[in-house]
A and B are shown apart, each in its own frame.
Chain A
C-alpha cells in the first residue's frame, strides 16, 4: 500500500457545485495532514492543514479527517473555474517534518 493514495481523476464538476476530494493513508503517515493546490508548472500552495479528527472549515474549503478509517478529504463549496488544478494530499510521519505526498487529483470545474 502506498503511504498516501489519491484517485488521479480528473474529477469534473460544474461551476457552483461541491467538489469532494479524497485521500487515504497508511499507518506510517499518521501525524498531520495537508491539502495543497498545484497549478501546472507551479509549486504547491497550502490550502488546509488538519491534525485532529473531525472537520475544519476555512472559507469555501472544509477538510475532514477520520483517523480510524485513515481517511482525509477536502470539500470545495461553490466551485469556481479558477479552482481547476491538481490537489495534493500530504501527510507527515511522527517525528519528521518532511511530507509524503499522494499522486494528486486533477479537478476540472466546468463554467
Chain B
C-alpha cells in the first residue's frame, strides 16, 4: 500500500515555542492531506484539511492562527503548532490518499507525532 511518512515521531518542547511536523507521501501525489489529533484514550479528531497550493480548511473550534498548515507541494504538508502550551500535548497524525482517486478510496496514515509541551 501507499506510504505516508511523518516526522518527527516525538518531540518535547518548552511552553511558548513552536513545533513543526512534516507529512510526506512517499510513493504517490496527494493534493489533499488531513491532520488529526488524538488525546489519550480518545478517538482521532479531524483538525484540518490541507490543500496543495491553497489555504487549509479548519474544523470548527480549531484555531487557524495557532495551527499553521502549509501544503506547498503534492507530496508534503506541514503542521506548525505555534506558541505551544501544555494543553497542546497530544498525538498528531496526518493522512492522505492518492490524487485522482474517488471519495471512497482509503486513507493512508503517517506514523504519528507525540508532542509533549512542558
Contacts and interface: CB of A to CB of B under 8 A. Distances in A.
- The size bracket of the interface on B is 20 to 34
A49 B49 contact: no
Given A43-B109, A44-B109, A100 B32 contact: no
A32 B6 CA distance: 26
Interface in A59-111: 88, 92, 94-104
Contact of B34 (A45, A49, A98, A103): A98
Interface string A40-57: 011111100101000000
A34 interface: yes
A41 B42 CA distance: 12
Interface of B: 1, 6, 32, 34, 36, 42-46, 49, 91, 93, 95, 97, 103-112, 114
Q: A interface, by DSSP: helix, strand, loop or mixed?
A: loop
Interface residues of A, number: 24
